[in-house]
Chain A
Amino acid sequence: LAKTTQPISMDSYEGQEVNITCSHNNIATNDYITWYQQFPSQGPRFIIQGYKTKVTNEVASLFIPADRKSSTLSLPRVSLSDTAVYYCLVTGDSGYSTLTFGKGTMLLVSP
């Protein structure tokens, strides 16, 4: 299983851009990279998913270099409500055998 490594915590201020990097050195050819957000006492919420290069949606961007051994979740202009734990997962396209959560990154956004 591809193991992921993320910073344990990050601090930011409202209005700033936040970039959270995840390492996944053993990612397989058919694996995708998926990011989830979790608030206390809630289930994880899907943020974004990508395979290579750059993916952008209404809430975030995901940058994946050519070797795919890492990825960076970019949150533009964070607000206090973005304070949460962010998980990077490597998910296989043939199923969910790799839907294993690492420790995640606790993002604290201050005023």
Chain B
Amino acid sequence: GAVVSQHPSWVICKSGTSVKIECRSLDFQATTMFWYRQFPKQSLMLMATSNEGSKATYEQGVEKDKFLINHASLTLSTLTVTSAHPEDSSFYICSAGQGGTEAFFGQGTRLTVV
């Protein structure tokens, strides 16, 4: 199957700083990318959907000014958590699709804000 790479796998940052997470589709062009957040023992919660070259569509309750998403190319999307706080600590996962009904997921990024 297609490969989606997420970087970094884990990151620790100080409260108030910003963190950028990258999501790359390695062997296909992703027309659509999704960003999820997952808290311990819970399911994945969709945060936003982005199409290449256009603004992301955020789910209700997700602050677009706090979680900045850039999908500048067909192989790269970034999620920037701005002014991170301890409550933003979570497991962030991206997925990418290439136009069919199947999406491929990255390995996830564990964010810890101290």
Contact = CB atoms under 8 A, between A and B. Distances in A.
A43 B101 contact: no
B49 interface: yes
12 contacts: A42-B108, A43-B4, A43-B6, A43-B94, A43-B105, A43-B108, A91-B102, A92-B101, A99-B103, A101-B43, A103-B43, A104-B43
A54 to B, nearest CB: 18
A92 B108 CA distance: 24
B114 interface: no
Contacts, number: 59
A77 interface: no
Contacts of B44: 44, 87, 101
A100 interface: yes
B58 interface: no
A34 interface: yes
Nearest to B106: A43
Interface residues of B, number: 26
Find the residue from A49, A97, A101, A102 having the highest chain B CB count within 10 A: A101
Interface of B: 1, 4, 6, 32, 34, 36, 43-46, 49, 91, 93-95, 97, 100-108, 110
A95 interface: yes
A43 to B, nearest CB: 4
Given A43-B105, A101-B44, A96 B32 contact: yes
A41 interface: yes
Instruction: Please give me the 3 A-B residue pairs with the lowest Cβ-Cβ distance, nearest first.
Output: A43-B105, A101-B44, A32-B101
